[in-house]
A = this chain, B = another copy of it.
């Protein structure tokens, strides 16, 4: 199974996603600040796996701590949590995982410090294992929505690499493929960071899933030719009303799917839902560096003097989403996640 994150007994091991598909390079991390930098620089990306990596980051922060009291350890953990929280603003799984680790620490405050540190590592391992299980459930629920001979369009990477393994939107595709239902996956290259061309295509090659890579601008054309049956993407944060933040370009696909009469599905673990935000306009949208758009592969693309606007995510209104697929089942509009 493709997994971008694992614990080797001493250190967190991440598959460096900035090097794919050309090189499969693993990197090892022994401190929370190294993990924060790995998240910030996209060595590891994808909302669910950011949460997993951050959980291990907190566990590493505990191991690093030289505190001799619980309060001292907690203070060190809060520093790690704050540092990890500052890496990426949009994916809510990050904050969810950090809060879970904080809660675990507080819940086990009576343990001796070395046992508490071991407990935090177990908690991070649990976050990882639960994510894989959630993805398999998402895949199973989602595959039921996929017709035989399906031509599926997806954006960015919400596959095994974006999670602890298996994938969300990628999990739906994997499960449907295992059932023999997938005729073709259209892979949007997903500028500017090209997670589709680099990562989703790499996963499809690894698993023998038939696919074709297209530039993002070609998706509408493929729909107009009648060569798409459904669209499925992941999510970085889902507001209480169903509005969904995901990789820039997702909202365009939702509008295009509606225009062409195609179902548009979002697949995400339940932890992606942020019940504290009533609607999507409140989701903070990360703006990343202009260099992602201005340069590529060491080559200058746009003139140095040209300003760039580089939002990493957009928000798709709930009304454009046919269904949201979670490990707890399939939700349909009007969205109510309190069941």
Interface residues of A (CB under 8 A from B): 21-22, 155, 186-192, 194, 197-198, 201-202, 204-205, 211-222, 224, 247-252, 255-256, 258-259, 293-294, 296-303, 305-311, 314-315
Contacts and interface: CB of A to CB of B under 8 A. Distances in A.
A216 B249 contact: yes
Contacts of A296: 296-297, 299
Tell me the interface secondary structure of chain A in the complex.
mixed
Contacts of A218: 248-249, 309-311, 314
Question: Within the oligomer, what is the number of copies of this chain?
Answer: 2
Given A293-B197, A297-B296, A301-B189, A215 B217 contact: no
Given A220-B251, A252-B256, A298 B297 contact: yes
A219 B224 CA distance: 19
Given A198-B302, A213-B307, 14 more contacts: A21-B300, A21-B302, A187-B302, A187-B306, A197-B306, A204-B306, A213-B309, A215-B216, A216-B217, A218-B249, A220-B255, A221-B248, A297-B298, A298-B298
A219 to B, nearest CB: 7
Contact of A214 (B155, B189, B259, B293): B293
A248 B297 contact: no
Given A21-B303, A201-B302, A201-B303, A310 B249 contact: no
A212 B155 CA distance: 24
